[in-house]
Amino acid sequence: MIKAALLVGLGSFLGGSLRFLSVVWIERKASLDFPLAILCVNALGSFVIGFAAPGFERFSWGGESVVPLLLSAGMMGGFTTFSTFSLQTLKLMQNGNWGLAFLNAIASVVCCLLSVWAGWRLGQWAFR
């Protein structure tokens, strides 16, 4: 149990660090009122976890499933940011930007569901 918690913690550290760097980079490239960076990070993280999941199911990693814990619960859990998404959507609403808030909520859910599905399909093909 301790080993698993440490793996998830390490993965979360890596994922959170990658999220920070990705968000800073995207925000520098696209100066918008819309939280595009978090949308991109959530979609990418959803794709990656969808892609990896069939591999986790196909291959036995032994013991406490070290690789899936590190990568899925840890790294992608730290990388994706629905808590940040929720706060940004709330701030848009509080600032009276209801249209952007609605667009952000719908786009995030649709993009992430499509991304996890696309990743899953690609993962099924790659890990057959």
70-120 residue pLDDT tens = 888 889 889 997 888 898 999 999 999 999 999 999 999 999 999 999 999
d(CA 18, CA 4): 21
Q: Which residue has the tokens 């940040």?
A: 84
Q: In 3-state terms, the chain is what percent helix, strand and coil (to 5)?
A: 85, 0, 15
- CA torsion sign for 123, 78, 37, 18 is negative
25-70 residue pLDDT tens = 999 998 888 999 999 999 999 999 889 888 887 776 555 577 888 8
d(CA 107, CA 95): 19
